[in-house]
Structure formats: C-alpha cells, structure tokens
C-alpha cells in the first residue's frame, strides 16, 4: 500500500519542480510589477565567440522569468510574513500597522553611515552655485527633500531598530543651506505637522499618497506662484478606496492585487502633454495648461509622480526632468520662471556623485596670496560642452574653488563645483588631501589657456588646456 503512495508523492514532487521550467518553455510570461528591469535572455555565442559569462547570465534570466515566479514569490513571502513577521527580502522591512519600509532608508533612520560635515558643506556649495546660475537668468530656485517614509512614521518601524541621537543628513543639509542662503521647502516639517489629518504615505509603497502629495503641492505653489490664483483643494474631502498596492507590495506579493486603503480626492485634471510624450518612459517631457503664465522646470524623482497632475493643471507650463546629474542646458530652449529640485532623502549623497551639466558663470577673479603645489587636470567633452575636472592638494576643504583661464593678458574666472568626477578619480592617486573640482565651460571659449585652481587664496597651477568648439 505504501509503494503507490511513495510513487505518487515522488511524481508530484518532480512535477512541481519541473513546472516552472515547463511553463517558461511553453511561453509563460508574468507581468513585471517589481519596478526594476528584468534580466534579458543571453546567448551562448557572441560577436567575439564563446560567451564565458553565459552560465551566470542565464541563471539571472531564469531567476527573473521562470514560470509562475510571481505566484511562488508571493506564497513564500506571505508565509514568512505570517510566521516570522519578515519578508526575508533584502529590500523590504515589515513594520507595524501593516506598513512596509524600503531597506535603503535604514541608514537615514538609524543615523548611521552619515555624510561628513565636509560632504554636507560641499553639497550646500553645489546647490548655492546652481541657485546663483538660475538667479543670474532671472529664475527663482528652490531645493526640497521628499522625506523617507520612516522619517514621517518612525513609530511604525520594527522595535528591533534603535536609532542613534545623531542629526541626520536631511536636517544637517537644511541647516547648511540656510547658512548658504539657498531657498528651500521643508517637506518633512510640513508633513509631520499634518500627521493628524490622516495617513500621508502609502502602507506598502515608498512614496507619499495623494494627501501627502497635496500638502507638498501647496507648499510648492506658495513658493513659486504666490502672485497668481491657483486651486488649493482645501475644501476637497477624500474618499477612502481599497485598491492600494505599491512598489514594496510588488516586491514581495506581486501576484496579489492591492487592497490597502488610500485617500482619493477625485481631482479633475486639465492639461495636455507635449506631442509624442510617454510620461512613464521619457526622462524629460513637458505639460501645458491654460491656468496661468507661470512656468516651472522640475528636476525630479519618482516622488513627483503624484505631484504631476496637480502642478500641470495649475501651472501654465511645466517641464519635468528625471535626468541626473541635473542638466541645466535644458533651460536654454525654454527659460522658466522657477526651477525646483525635488530629491528623496535617501539619495542626498548622490548630489556628490557628479556635477550638474551647467555652463559656469564668469566671476570676479579671486585674490591670490601664495602659490601651492600643482593641480591635476583632465578635460573632456560632455553633451557638446568642454568639461574641466581634476583635483589639487589642500589640508582642508575650501569654501570656494575657482578656475582661472589665462592667456596674453586675458583672464577668465569661474567658480567650480567641489566634486571629484569619476573621470578624474585616478588623478587623486598618491595625492595627500586631494580636493576635487568640476567645471563646465560656457560656449565661446576656445584655444589654449593656462589653467590654475585658486582656493583660499592659494593658486595651484594645472598646466595648459586646449580645446575647440564643435
């Protein structure tokens, strides 16, 4: 009697093991809900012959595409959440009151692996330079940080995580920006003051919900459109609907529909996209409405998705750009009334990864008190502009860094971003106290110049550079 049972059990087990592969071979393709690119099918043979990476690449492909993957992922994570109170997914933290949190926000929440005071100062300097560029063209500038969900709802984080008393990157950066005179909007303070109005973030998503976005929208409009009338939606009462899923939900429970509550204000939109726009795919696109004549250029990330229908309906013109580093040459085609940077808290450090593409403003030449060691310089082309980048030795990070271009009595002075570009990282090898700089030269400069770096009154010669316009 036992033998047929064993045979049936083994057959069922083998069938279950083979089912994902059979489904894949039969053309099964699940919908990708995980907000990430899936691995592509690779080839054993490439242009250069045998692809030695084929086993690893195929393993990545199979892991992302095997049959009934989403159902199995959902079953596994549903079981671990029920039994262990955890997903065992490295990207997702299971919190209290049905909230999920993104693991990449954990350092900010705990107050560990923070940026140094020097790095915070460099970011503030970079934003100050961007504000000066905008103001020189008659454009207002605003910087705003979209807070991590656990910044607003720390009480829903698991008790096993104990934050330090260290001031975080966001608070320290806002303080540095205030000292530098950079205009900001503090979304975190605003949202924290409105927590009693109702939930402001999705349960199982990293982003603010419609209520939170509405608060951020009104803060933006008060900053950039105070002189015109616009809809505040103050009298709108939301309806609670139960269809909410979210990016974190799709990481761990991709086969289940969303059933979490969310506020729905039923706001009617009235704007049009530029011809040919694909909002979900295009890095940069624009919208137009008849609301007023105010125009905005928004350097944004995914938190702006919920702002788009509100801003586009209530501003005459909005250009949205997810390009990073920020590309200020986009302002050449249309000069807006305002520029706003919206950046999620967890990505503050990214502001030091590369300098914006921004033609430098010419400044008054700085005073020079002494001569220092040699600076190291690399030049290259970036989107049709000449880029100067490099490093110089200094005991402390200077407040401001200037680049001088000189030839035959002709001098040009520009303030550089205090950033060590990837193209110049190798130049810092063996240099004590290497301080990076990055500069996009404005159009109109060509030929050979002597280049030097001036910081804190010390000149660091960088040799000569020669370039020609395209």
SS (H, E, C) the chain: CHHHHHHHHHHHHHHHHHHHHHHHHCCCCCCCCCCCCCCCCCCCEECCEECCCHHHHHHHHHHHHCCCHHHHHHHHHHHHHHHHCCCCCCCEEECCCCCEEEHHHHHHHHCCCCCCHHHHHHHHHHHHHHHHHHHHCCCEEEEEEECCHHHHCHHHCCCCCCCCCCCCHHHHHHHHHHHHCCCEECHHHHHHCCHHHCCCECCCCCCECHHHHHHHHHHHHHHHCCCCCCCCCCCCCCEEEEEECCHHHHHHCCCCCCCEEEEECCCCCCCEECCCCCCCCCCEEEEECCCCCCEEEEECCHHHHCCHHHHHHHCCEEEEECCCCCEHHHHCCCCCCEEEEEEEHHHHHHHHCCCCECECCECCCCCCCEECCCCEEEEEEECCEEEEEEEEECCCCCCCEEEEEEECCEEEEEECECCCCHHHHHHHCCCCCEEEEEEECCCCCCEEEEEEEEECCEEEEEEEEEECCC
* Residues 302-324, mean pLDDT to the nearest whole number: 98
Q: Which two tokens stand for residue 70?
A: 């989403």
Q: What are the structure tokens assigned to 56, written together?
A: 């690893």
Asked if residue 48 has pLDDT above 90, the reply is no
Mean pLDDT value across residues 236-252? 89
Q: Answer yes or no: CATH 2.60.40.10 is held by domain 370-467.
A: yes
Q: CA angle, 276 as apex, 275 and 281 as ends, to 5°?
A: 130
Q: Which residues pair with 451 in a beta bridge?
A: 405
Confidence band of 447 (pLDDT split at 50, 70, 90): confident
Of residues 266 and 39, which shows the higher confidence score? 266
Q: Is the pLDDT at 357 greater than 60, yes or no?
A: yes
What is the predicted pLDDT for the residue at 77? 63
The answer to whether 64 and 29 are in contact (CB under 8 A) is no
Domain boundaries, the chain: 20-94, 107-352, 370-467
Mean pLDDT of 384-409: 94
Quick one: pLDDT band at residue 446, thresholds 50, 70, 90? confident
Write down the pLDDT at residue 251. Answer: 77
Q: Model confidence over 254-299: pLDDT tens digits?
A: 778 888 999 999 999 999 999 999 998 999 999 999 999 999 999 9
- Reported confidence tier of residue 15, pLDDT bands at 50, 70, 90: very low
Mean pLDDT over the full length of the chain: 88
User: Residue 116 above 70 pLDDT?
Assistant: yes
Question: What's the pLDDT at 445?
Answer: 84
Rounded CA gap, 404 and 399, in Å? Answer: 17
**Torsion from C-alpha of 420, 424, 428, 434, nearest 10 degrees:** -30
Mean predicted confidence (pLDDT) in 290-310 = 97
For residue range 190-212, list pLDDT tens digits in order.
999 999 999 999 999 999 999 99
pTM of the model: 0.86
pLDDT digits (tens, 9 = 90+) for 331-346: 998 999 999 999 999 9
Q: Residue for token digits 């009617």? A: 268
Query: What mean pLDDT is predicted for residues 163-173?
Result: 96
| 298 contacts 342 by C-beta, under 8 angstroms | yes
Q: Average pLDDT for residues 392-404, to the nearest whole number?
A: 96
């Amino acid at each position: 009697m036992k033998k047929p049972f064993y045979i049936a059990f083994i057959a069922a087990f083998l069938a279950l093991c083979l089912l994902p592969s059979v489904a894949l071979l039969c053309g099964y393709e699940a919908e990708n809900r995980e907000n990430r690119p899936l691995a592509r099918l690779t080839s054993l043979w490439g242009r250069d012959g045998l692809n030695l990476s084929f086993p690893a690449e195929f393993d990545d492909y199979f892991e992302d595409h095997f049959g009934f993957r989403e159902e199995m992922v959902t079953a596994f994570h549903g079981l671990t959440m029920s039994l262990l109170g955890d997903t065992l997914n490295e990207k997702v933290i299971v919190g209290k009151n049905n909230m999920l949190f993104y693991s990449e926000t954990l350092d900010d929440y705990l107050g560990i692996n923070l940026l140094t005071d020097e790095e915070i100062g460099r970011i503030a300097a970079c934003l100050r330079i961007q504000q000066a560029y905008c103001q020189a063209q008659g454009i207002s500038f605003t910087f705003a940080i979209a807070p991590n969900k656990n910044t607003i709802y720390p009480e829903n984080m698991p008790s096993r995580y104990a934050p330090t008393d260290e001031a975080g990157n966001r608070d320290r950066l806002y303080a540095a920006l205030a000292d530098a005179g950079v205009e900001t909007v503090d979304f975190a303070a605003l949202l924290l003051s409105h927590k009693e109005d109702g939930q402001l973030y999705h349960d199982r998503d990293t982003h603010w919900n419609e209520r939170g976005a509405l608060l951020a929208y009104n803060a933006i409009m008060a900053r950039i459109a105070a002189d015109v009338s616009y809809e505040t939606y103050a009298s709108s009462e939301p309806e609670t609907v139960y269809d909410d899923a979210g990016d974190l939900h799709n990481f761990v429970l991709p086969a289940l529909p969303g059933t979490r509550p969310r506020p729905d204000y039923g706001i009617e939109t009235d704007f049009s996209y530029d011809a040919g726009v694909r909002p979900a795919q295009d890095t940069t696109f624009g919208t137009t409405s008849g609301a007023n004549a105010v125009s905005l250029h928004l350097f944004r990330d995914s938190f702006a998705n919920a702002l788009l229908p509100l801003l586009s309906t209530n501003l005459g013109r909005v250009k949205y750009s997810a390009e990073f580093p920020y590309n200020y040459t986009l302002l050449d085609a249309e000069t807006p009334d305002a520029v706003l940077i919206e950046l999620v808290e967890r990505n503050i450090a990214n502001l030091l990864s590369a300098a914006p593409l921004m033609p430098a403003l010419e400044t008054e030449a700085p005073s020079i008190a002494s001569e220092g060691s040699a600076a190291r310089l690399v030049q290259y082309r970036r989107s049709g502009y000449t880029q100067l980048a490099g490093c110089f030795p200094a005991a402390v990070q200077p407040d401001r860094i200037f680049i001088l271009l000189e030839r035959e009595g002709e001098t040009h002075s520009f303030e550089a971003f205090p950033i060590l570009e990837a193209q110049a990282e190798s130049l810092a090898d063996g240099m004590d106290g290497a301080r990076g700089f990055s500069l996009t030269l404005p159009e109109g400069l060509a030929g050979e110049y002597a280049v030097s770096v001036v910081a804190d009154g010390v000149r660091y010669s960088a040799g000569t550079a020669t370039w020609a316009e395209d």
